[in-house]
Amino acid sequence: MSQPPAPSTLETSRPGQVSLWTLLRVFGRSLFLQASWNPQGMQNLGLAYALFPALKALYPDPERQMAAVRRHMAFFNTQPYMAAAILGGVIFHEGRIARGEEGPEQVVAFKSALMGPLAALGDGFFWLSLRPAVGALCAALVPALGAWAALLFLVLYNVVHLALRVQLFRMGLRLGDRLVEQVAHAHLPQWGARLRTVGAASAGAAVAYLAASLGSNQGGKEGAVLAVGYLALGVFAYWLTSKRFGNYALLYLAAALAVAAGAFL
């Protein structure tokens, strides 16, 4: 396998190579990946927008540049953070295509092969594990930290998110197709399972805080009774959700019960 299009200097690039500045521009533009998400091409326009500076650098010839842009306006959809790995890999392949080392079908196959599995991995880790875990933990910490809990949310989440996003982009650039092996070594599903436990435990702590603290503060002499009532409501709500009771219906039912209790007791 030949060398990937590693950046040589900040602003200049040799044929088939992309400068560091251009790579930074691609990464920055990748943050707009879903700006025009649509049901037909999904992230296609966002991908073409992100890649454009690199394609311009790799193909000075307008005909080849147009062909390159058009092959990245086809359907594309993956988890937006994991897209960084595909972007890096696409630049790796486009560099090889520009140097005449492989055909354009390689980069199309690369995208098609990776977008599904990376989406599944990213959805499972970021959307269904990291975000709920950090969200529930910080929500449960609101009584102790106040508004700082919101800042803690941003720090905890983005330390992981931004580090992985940058790392995935670099891995794609350096390894091309071989990035799959490296991503597998990160053991994201195992970390995800642990994080989901943190989410559930933190939600339980939040129920107890809301019941005990606000119940005793609002209930006057009957504070303990009110706190136990809220706890029982939490258990009942969990049971209702397990029976697929609607979330909005549950929220408004809880409100109605409390308003009725407050008005008539």
Partner 1 sequence: MVDWSQVALAGVWGGLLALERRAFLQAMFSRPLVAATSMGLLLGDPDSGLAVGMLLELYHLGAANLGAALPENDTIAATGCSAAAASCTLSQGAGAIGTPTIWALAIILFGWLGTLGRKVDRWLEPYNTRLARKATARAEHGELRRAVRQNLWGMWPHFVLYAALVGACSVVGYLLGPTVSKLPLQLSRGLAWAYPAMGCGAAAIAARGSHAKHSASWAAGTAVVVALAYAAIAIRRGAA
Binding residues among 193-252 for partner 1 as defined by CB under 8 A? 193, 196-197, 199-216, 218, 226-227, 230-231, 233-235, 237-238, 240-242, 247-248, 250-252
How many CA atoms does the CB half-sphere of 118 hold within 13 Å?
30
Contacts of 213 (CB under 8 A, 6+ apart): 143
Mask 109-148, x = binds partner 1 (CB under 8 A)? Answer: ----------x---x---xxx-xxx-xx-xx--x---xx-
Q: Nearer Cβ to partner 1, position 1 or 63?
A: 63
Residue from 113, 162, 166, 225 binding partner 1 (CB under 8 A): 162
Minimum distance, C-beta of residue 62 to partner 1, in the bound complex (Å)? 7
Residue from 6, 10, 24, 150 binding partner 1 (CB under 8 A): 150
Cα–Cα nearest to 27, from 221, 235, 171? 171
> Cβ(86)–Cβ(167) under 8 Å?
no
By CB under 8 A, is residue 161 in contact with partner 1? yes
Mask 37-66, x = binds partner 1 (CB under 8 A)? Answer: xxxxxx-xxx-xx--x---x-----x--xx
Residue from 2, 32, 109, 113 binding partner 1 (CB under 8 A): 32
Q: Nearer Cβ to partner 1, position 45 or 175?
A: 45
Minimum distance, C-beta of residue 1 to partner 1, in the bound complex (Å)? 30
By CB under 8 A, is residue 166 in contact with partner 1? no
Minimum distance, C-beta of residue 15 to partner 1, in the bound complex (Å)? 19
Minimum distance, C-beta of residue 3 to partner 1, in the bound complex (Å)? 28
Minimum distance, C-beta of residue 38 to partner 1, in the bound complex (Å)? 4
Q: Classify 42 as helix, strand or coil.
A: strand
